Chains A and B, each alone.
Chain A
Amino acid sequence: MFCTSCGGKISDAANFCGSCGSQVKRATAPVPPMPPPLAAADPPSAPPPSIQRAGPTATCPWCGAIFDGSLLSCPRCGATVDAPPVSTASGWEKLPGRKDMAKLQFGDSFCQIEGKYVPVADVKLAGADSVYFTHHVLLWKDPQVNITTMSLAGGWKRVFAGMPLIMTQAQGPGHIAFSRDDPGEMIALPIQPGQSVDVREHLFMFATDKVAYDWFSTNIWYTTQTGSGDDAEQETHHPVGMLMDRFHAPQSPGLLLLHAAGNVFVRELAANQTILVKPTALIFKDPTVQMQLHFEHPHTGFSLWGSWANRYLWLRLWGPGRVAVQSVFDRMEGENSNITSCSSATEQRW
């Protein structure tokens, strides 16, 4: 078996991982799959129906919710009902279409997603409901909506753009709206009881109070060196972030809203199926999906000494579970420098 935190191989009997020292968490209950996997591609002559309508109810192709068949969009995740889901020939599924002003429901509260370039999540909180968010995504609020700070053990270690990352909570009743500073897409992830999802840091817009928030060390890093001898400078880089957020619904279902830059694509990996993605493009994954660095060296015929640029740095992910990527991503720092050490990685030389 493999360590869930660093991906290193460990013996089945071990209680701690030999490479990173983290405690081995034995699966107590299998994580339920989130949305049902995409139906296998039908022949092009018969495009799959966007939605399974069985009498008066409909099933959402994205989140699996069953709802009144007369509705035009899924009340749980806002996916448009009458547009067929789009998936690439390679198996990436595009986020479901969402009409401007689509509305989703959680508890007694509603969230309306407004705008197409940089969408706004406009939340109408019922009296007993609350959501939490990081304070820099706040766009506007009714004066009576109360904002308080959530205490996070060890939270002061987390920093965003030089500021402490503060988790804040908004209590209903009233309206509060959120947006982030990138053209992109909003992702609604309903979380079922017992289910968890791992999210790249700083992508989350808000989560409902029933969703538990934690984070873990990604243990994905590499160290670069510039200069040599006494002038040598070492720098450590974390291409998927030093930390990753983990959202978990312990008992009751919850809603998690993310915002990714550009367009979003999701795919379901079978057990031990692998895929290489740009490390900075990863948005979220199921906790069952493991990751590590992967170096790829194209065949050059002869060795160009010191040509670090002639090497690709990937994030290797393997299933079972879902992974999602965004089409706009940050440049990877130090990618083409002299990498002196890194977290556990695989290598391919052509």
Chain B
Amino acid sequence: MNDKTALTCRACGAPLDIRNLVSESGWREAPRIKNMTEFQFSSSSCQVEGEIVPVAEINLSPGDSVFFEHHIMLWKDESVPLTVMQLSGGMKRAFAGMPFVISVATGPGRIAFSRDATGELVVLPLHPGMELDVREHAFLLASHQIDYSFIRIKGLANILFGGQGMFMDRFVTTNTPGLVILHGYGNVFERVLKPGESIMLEPGAFLYKDSSVTMQVEFQKLGTGFFGGTNMSLARMTGPGRIGVQSMYVHHKTE
């Protein structure tokens, strides 16, 4: 709950004086976080700066920490210590030819993050018992109360780049509420699927989902009349739960 006088949500930065934009087909636009909006998590705070390629700037309190992919750090205070999170199987995962490393920054001090393309930040406070699945390389940071793991989904990637598969990050809350911030390319939309309700997604559009939403790869053959045509893979997402999509896809070579 927020103060009646507050202009933005204390937990996720969403403007409170603008109503949600919902399309007639049921997609809610991710709240466009106003430039310089500040919000709280644990005893630390985050300020979102900029609007075209937004930066998340974290002011960590002593004892709080956040984890992230190391290549998205924009700047930090010299005194903020960095460690590497131990991951099982992480060595096999590579990002654009770099080894995939999750780093941890611990307070006190400031550290800021941004990704490499136009997009929106999606701030998702997670309560105990919530599980969130996120497309690989889409999360900007998560707070230390959240457990991180990942799974590989075969046959799922953008239409343009074939179905060589992709990873999905899984965030699980322990006993205390935590925070996950994602960066979606282009614009981000969310909808809640009812139990059994489903929607077909271009795999490149998938951004996040509650773990209760199931994802199934379906192939559709597109004939060209010559050479047998090509296969189009679509992801069938079935409720109950939230799904988030992004309107632009940037392909990072994943091995």
Binding site for B on A (CB under 8 A): 100-101, 103, 110, 112, 114-120, 122, 124, 135-136, 138-143, 147, 149, 151, 155-156, 161, 163-164, 166, 168, 175, 177, 179-183
Chain A CB within 8 A of B187 CB: yes
Pick from B189, B230, B232, B248: contact of A182, CB below 8 A: B248
Pick from B24, B120, B186: contact of A110, CB below 8 A: B24
Chain A min CB distance to B205 (Å): 5
Q: Which A residues touch B52, using CB under 8 A?
A: 117, 183
Pick from B23, B225, B250: contact of A114, CB below 8 A: B23
Chain B min CB distance to A150 (Å): 10
CB-based contact B160/A115 at 8 Å: no
CB-based contact A136/B187 at 8 Å: no
Pick from B23, B186, B205, B236: contact of A117, CB below 8 A: B186
Interface size for chain B: under 10, 10 to 19, 20 to 34, or 35 or more residues? 35 or more
CB-based contact A143/B25 at 8 Å: no
Q: Which A residues touch B118, using CB under 8 A?
A: 117-118, 183
CB-based contact A118/B29 at 8 Å: no
CB-based contact A161/B21 at 8 Å: no
Chain A CB within 8 A of B167 CB: no
Q: Which B residues touch A118, using CB under 8 A?
A: 118, 185-187, 247-248
Chain B min CB distance to A168 (Å): 6
CB-based contact B199/A143 at 8 Å: yes
Distance of A177 Cα from B21 Cα, bound (Å): 17
Q: Which A residues touch B223, using CB under 8 A?
A: 149
Distance of A114 Cα from B52 Cα, bound (Å): 16
Chain B min CB distance to A203 (Å): 15
Contact count A vs B, C-beta below 8 Å: 119
Distance of A207 Cα from B248 Cα, bound (Å): 21
CB-based contact B205/A140 at 8 Å: yes
Complex A-B: 13 CB contacts under 8 Å: A101-B29, A114-B23, A114-B27, A117-B186, A119-B247, A138-B232, A140-B202, A143-B198, A151-B225, A164-B224, A164-B226, A179-B248, A183-B186
Distance of A181 Cα from B189 Cα, bound (Å): 16
Q: Which B residues touch A114, using CB under 8 A?
A: 21, 23, 27, 29, 187, 189, 247
Chain B min CB distance to A197 (Å): 25
CB-based contact A115/B29 at 8 Å: yes
CB-based contact B202/A139 at 8 Å: yes
Binary interface profile of B, 21-33, with partner A (CB < 8 Å = 1, else 0)?
1011101010000
Chain A CB within 8 A of B222 CB: yes
Most buried by A among B187, B198, B227: B187
Q: Which of B204-252 contact A (CB under 8 A)?
A: 205, 220, 222-227, 229-230, 232, 234, 236, 245, 247-250
CB-based contact A135/B222 at 8 Å: yes
> Given A143-B200, A166-B230, A168-B222 in contact, is the A177-B248 Cβ separation under 8 Å?
no
Q: Which A residues touch B247, using CB under 8 A?
A: 114-115, 117-120, 139, 179
Chain A CB within 8 A of B178 CB: no
* Cβ-closest 8 pairs across A and B: A118-B186, A115-B187, A118-B248, A179-B247, A118-B247, A183-B118, A156-B226, A175-B25
Q: Which A residues touch B25, using CB under 8 A?
A: 112, 122, 124, 175, 177
CB-based contact A101/B21 at 8 Å: yes
Chain A CB within 8 A of B82 CB: no
Distance of A166 Cα from B231 Cα, bound (Å): 11
CB-based contact A120/B187 at 8 Å: yes
CB-based contact A163/B198 at 8 Å: no
Q: Which residue of B lies closest to A164 (CB)?
A: B224
Pick from A117, A124, A142, A155: contact of B187, CB below 8 A: A117
Q: Which A residues touch B7, using CB under 8 A?
A: none
Q: Which A residues touch B200, using CB under 8 A?
A: 140-143
Q: Which B residues touch A175, using CB under 8 A?
A: 25
Pick from B187, B198, B220, B249: contact of A181, CB below 8 A: B249
> Given A140-B245, A141-B199, A141-B200 in contact, is the A112-B224 Cβ separation under 8 Å?
no
